């Protein structure tokens, strides 16, 4: 009797919305893109686990441990991890109000780059809060570091060298992205590589081989886990 084959998806935000890489038993199966997360996940309803590169779960009054631990794991490349502020900050209508709220609660300001996540952060958390427990937060740089036996990739993911190193790490783990991805190939290559790394972590979650930061995870007010899986 053959072993049941597992499908998972890795998801990353991109300029046109979202991009996903689907793995079938750890190997590349397809790539999808959509303007909204619901539309993307509709194209992969069979995925048992979805690893997504967006913060899932917010605390009421403090920064998340997951981001601090992930930054520490990246060492000199720690700037690749954003510190995620408390829930009330994300409920504000604009950057100025969010920055003020962040200073009031934490004593520190909010970067514009972090605030740029607001639309997609709300979209992903709404999906998980509504009951889609397939979603697990991942961070591609943590995934690539794990693939490289704990050594963060030095080169930027937007550089030629950085992209070739990351493709090589994926290839060594059995994930080979085709040269031609059709219409999905219009997505920036760093976003596709991030989605593939997220899929690698999703496959580890599905196989029960994943680790997480922190372990055990923190919890939202409703009891959902707050952790970065890899």
φ, ψ at 78 (rounded to 5°): -60, -20
Residue 193 has pLDDT above 60, yes or no: yes
Residue 205 has pLDDT above 60, yes or no: yes
Residue 2 has pLDDT above 80, yes or no: no
Two structure tokens written together for 31: 């790539």
Q: What is the pLDDT of residue 5?
A: 63
Residue 1 has pLDDT above 50, yes or no: no
DSSP string, 127-174: HHHTT-TTEEEB-HHHHHHHHTTT----S-TTSHHHHHHHHHHHHHTT
What is the mean pLDDT of the segment spanning 181-209?
98
Q: Mind listing the pLDDT tens digit for each residue in 160-179?
A: 999 999 999 999 999 999 99
How many CB atoms neighbour CB 171 within 10 A? 11
φ, ψ at 136 (rounded to 5°): -130, 135
56 neighbors 46 (Cβ within 8 angstroms):
no
Residue 217 has pLDDT above 80, yes or no: yes
**The domain at 7-59+124-229 falls in which architecture?**
2-Layer Sandwich (3.30)
**In the chain, domain spans:** 7-59+124-229
φ, ψ at 212 (rounded to 5°): -145, 155
- The C-alpha atoms of residue 211 and residue 136 are separated, in whole angstroms, by 12
């Amino acid at each position: 009797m053959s072993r049941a084959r597992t499908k998972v998806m890795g998801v990353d935000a991109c300029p046109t919305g979202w991009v996903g890489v689907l793995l079938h038993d750890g190997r590349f199966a397809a790539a999808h893109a959509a303007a909204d997360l619901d539309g993307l996940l509709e194209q992969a309803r069979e995925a048992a686990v979805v690893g997504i590169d967006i913060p899932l779960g917010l605390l009421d009054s403090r920064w998340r441990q997951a981001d601090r631990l992930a930054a520490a794991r990246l060492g000199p490349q720690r700037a690749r991890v954003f510190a995620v502020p408390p829930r009330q900050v994300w409920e504000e209508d604009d950057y100025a109000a969010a920055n003020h709220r962040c200073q009031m609660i934490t004593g520190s300001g909010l970067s514009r780059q972090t605030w740029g996540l607001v639309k997609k952060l709300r979209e992903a958390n709404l999906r998980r809060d509504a009951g889609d427990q397939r979603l697990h937060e991942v961070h591609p740089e943590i995934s690539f570091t794990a693939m490289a036996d704990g050594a963060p990739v030095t080169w930027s993911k937007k550089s030629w060298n950085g992209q070739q190193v990351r493709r090589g790490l994926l290839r060594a783990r059995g994930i080979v992205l085709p040269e031609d991805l059709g219409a999905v190939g219009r997505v920036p290559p760093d976003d596709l590589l991030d989605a593939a790394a997220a899929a690698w972590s999703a496959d580890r979650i599905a196989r029960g081989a994943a680790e997480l930061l922190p372990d055990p995870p923190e919890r939202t007010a409703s009891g959902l886990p707050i952790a970065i899986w890899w």
